[in-house]
Structure 1
Amino acid sequence: MTRLPVLAAPEPDTRPRNRRRAMRVLLVDEEDRILLFRDSDPGITPVPVFWITPGGGVDPGESDLQAAVREVAEETGLAIGEDDLVGPLAARVVVHGYSDVVTTQDEQFWFVRCRSFEVSTAGHTEVELATMTAHHWWRRDELEATTEEIWPRDLLAIRDLVPEPGTAPREPLDLGDVDESTVAPA
């Protein structure tokens, strides 16, 4: 994704459009907290903020699992293996209308149980360093009570899909087509 911080948003119908596969990972610690990053779109005033799971696009030649492992390492500093990933729990097609690009993502959501750790942003891209301004381990009651924007909006429903240890995997929940835009696509 080529999101760059911009000072003024172009007209919605002139924004470039792209489509990609993306892997999102629910990192849940021993206290059952979910790690989220506060992301933003600096091309809009006032700057909107929204909380997101770690994850991102699948690079050419990568498998979905390889992409999920790489994204977790780059965005959090946590080293996991493909065998740590549980899922996919859910899948959807989501449109994000940022001020400088409209991205349609074919997303899958995975789960990883981990110990709480100090997040490292050393692997963040220049864009991530400019737009991802904080991180927080969220408790369920915090997520249920917050008025802040959480992407995906049905995060707790996805979290509740984690199978009990020893149970058979099931088909991912199809969450359908979703629009979580900050700037509506034209």
Structure 2
Amino acid sequence: MSAGPTDRGTGTAPAARRAARVLCLDPDGALLLVGGTDPARPHAPAVWLPPGGGVAAGESAGAAARRELFEETGLWLDDVGPAVTGRTVEFDFAGRRFRQRETWFAVRVARFEPRPTAWTRWERRSLVGTTWWRLGDPPPGVIPDDVVRLGEGAHRDLPATPRRVGL
């Protein structure tokens, strides 16, 4: 497989990054999303994704998913279960091109009010908030098609009873 597109003509390959995301659905099928913008493009609409972020060196995808979920929403889960899917996505952020390999998890939780606990400097500059998005209703910005598809699949396949969680 080729290295893929170069970084805006600079001749460098996109920076490789691993990430984990958690599809959090409430009993009614609403999906928790975190909105963000690119600091290099402040007037672009927010993109809404499930909570998640980078996997640190030596960290498992499941541990990263739990940590990121807690940092971005205040929700701590002892277990996010097995990975339900993965994807590789390329995107630009802060003037750099990234190729991100993501591992996705899915959980059903009782609806709660998200309260970020540990946003990084970049997250404070780029994240605009969280929302519970009812599947089928238009979100307040851009949502990738595969997020819609994965959210609908998780709603269909997850048990209806929420996990007991600590906030």
Give the TM interval when normalised to the shorter protein.
0.7 to 0.9
The normalised TM-score by structure 1 is 0.72
The percent of aligned pairs where both chains have the same amino acid is 31
Specify the code of the residue in structure 1 equivalent to 2:111: S
CA change 1:44–1:111 in 2 (3 A) is same
Alignment counterpart, residue 149 of structure 1, candidates 120, 132, 142: 142
CA change 1:50–1:164 in 2 (3 A) is closer
Give how far 1:147 is off.
Answer: 7.7
Check the 8 A contact 1:42/1:48 in 2, yes or no. Answer: no
Distance 2:70 2:140 in 1: 29
Check the 8 A contact 2:34/2:131 in 1, yes or no. Answer: yes
Q: Which residue of 2 aligns with 1:106?
A: 101
Q: Secondary structure at the match of 1:70?
A: helix
Check the 8 A contact 1:16/1:101 in 2, yes or no. Answer: no
Which structure 2 residue ranges, 5 or more long, are not aligned?
1-6, 160-167
Check the 8 A contact 1:23/1:107 in 2, yes or no. Answer: yes
CA change 1:140–1:74 in 2 (3 A) is same
Q: Does 1:38 align with 2:30?
A: no
Check the 8 A contact 2:85/2:103 in 1, yes or no. Answer: yes
Give how far 1:103 is off.
Answer: 1.2
Matched positions, count: 150
Q: Does 1:22 align with 2:15?
A: no
Which structure 1 residue ranges, 5 or more long, are not aligned?
1-10, 166-186
Distance 1:101 1:76 in 2: 26
Q: What CA RMSD, in Å, does the superposition of the two structures yield over aligned residues?
A: 2.2
Post-superposition Cα deviations, 1:59-98, rounded to whole Å, max 9, x if no partner, equal 111111111111111111101012xx24422211100112
Distance 2:63 2:32 in 1: 20
Check the 8 A contact 2:133/2:139 in 1, yes or no. Answer: no
Check the 8 A contact 2:49/2:147 in 1, yes or no. Answer: no
